[in-house]
Amino acid sequence: MSHSKVIIVTGASQGIGAETAKAFRAQGHRVVAVARSIAPTIEADYIAIAGDIGDPATARRAVNAAVEHFGRVDTLVNNAGIFIAKPFTQYTAEEYAATLNVNLNGFFYITQFAIEQMQKNSSGHIVTITTSLVDHANSSVPSVLASLTKGGLNSATKSLAIEYAKAGIRANAVSPGIIKSPMHAPETHARLAGMHPVGRMGEMSDIVNAILYLDSAPFVTGEILHVDGGQSAGR
Ligand SMILES: NC(=O)c1ccc[n+]([C@@H]2O[C@H](COP(=O)([O-])OP(=O)(O)OC[C@H]3O[C@@H](n4cnc5c(N)ncnc54)[C@H](OP(=O)(O)O)[C@@H]3O)[C@@H](O)[C@H]2O)c1
């Protein structure tokens, strides 16, 4: 095992985020997990912070906890996200605000605070979870709010990669297809499987493995890694 890194994972109370936190811990890394419904704790190699990641105060608490208890921030996994699919004109103002809050504000503040810390070590990595729907709009899943926010995150990932390339800080994204997480009720799985060229949904481990790969790939930055059963390639 290489040296123990300090990893912040947002949206880590369940699903892909919880699995990501578990995988990094299993590799001997120290993790700061953030979500609204997570049980707060401070342990030798694990801290859980409860809060809304769209609130800059939560983002500040998470980064401060990493620095105060573990001394640094090596990797930030921007995983917290919500997905609301419906015809464009039916989105409510509340749904619009909620999506911007988590998907954009939840990326913006904590990424700023994390990069400030990474600059001190001339080293760091931001991984953001987006969605392949951004690249292949699907008439059966109208979801402009996902495209508006996650599409921006893909572009911001490339921008950050370039802005910080010489500073030793990398930025990448993982772009999932439809993954068997608590986001999708089991009774929907058969229909969702059919939306992938490979004919099946992805597992949470597929996304976790992509995150672990990117985190161990020093020459990879500005990459949008599609883990989507072929969705972005065509149909
Ligand atoms: N599953 C898929 O098919 C799929 C496909 C493409 C992309 N993705 C992306 O993958 C990421 C993880 O998805 P998932 O399937 O694991 O979803 P999930 O099971 O619904 O988990 C979402 C996580 O985000 C947290 N979260 C939501 N709002 C938050 C807020 N305001 N502040 C802090 N944390 C918040 C939730 O915790 P609390 O409720 O406790 O706050 C939860 O831990 C998301 O960005 C999602 O858009 C998923």
pLDDT digits (tens, 9 = 90+) for 175-219: 999 999 999 999 999 999 999 999 999 999 999 999 999 999 999
- CB-count exposure of residue 194 (10 Å: 0-12, 13-18, 19+): exposed
Among residues 164, 172, 166, 153, the alpha carbon closest in space to that of 217 is found at 172
Please tell me the distance between residue 166's alpha carbon and the centre of ligand 1 in angstroms: 31
What is the pTM (predicted TM-score) of this model? Answer: 0.98
Please tell me the distance between residue 67's alpha carbon and the centre of ligand 1 in angstroms: 25
1: pLDDT strictly greater than 80 = no
CA 193 to CA 201: how far, in whole Å?
Answer: 5
CA 185 to CA 67: how far, in whole Å?
Answer: 38
**Each residue's pLDDT tens digit, 141-164:** 999 999 999 999 999 999 999 999
Assess contact for 148 and 81: CB atoms under 8 A: no
Of the pLDDT bands very low, low, confident and very high (cuts 50, 70, 90), residue 91 is very high
**Each residue's pLDDT tens digit, 11-43:** 999 999 999 999 999 999 999 999 999 999 999
Q: Ligand 1 in contact with 55 (CB < 6 A)?
A: no
- At residue 166, the pLDDT reads 98
Q: Ligand 1 in contact with 52 (CB < 6 A)?
A: yes
Please tell me the distance between residue 54's alpha carbon and the centre of ligand 1 in angstroms: 13
- At residue 38, the pLDDT reads 98
Nearest atom of ligand 1 to the alpha carbon of 192: 3
Tell me what percent of the residues of the chain surpass a pLDDT of 90: 98
What is the CATH number that goes with domain 6-233?
3.40.50.720
112: pLDDT strictly greater than 50 = yes
140: pLDDT strictly greater than 50 = yes
Amino acid at 84: I
Of the pLDDT bands very low, low, confident and very high (cuts 50, 70, 90), residue 3 is confident
The domain spans of the chain are: 6-233
Q: Ligand 1 in contact with 81 (CB < 6 A)?
A: yes
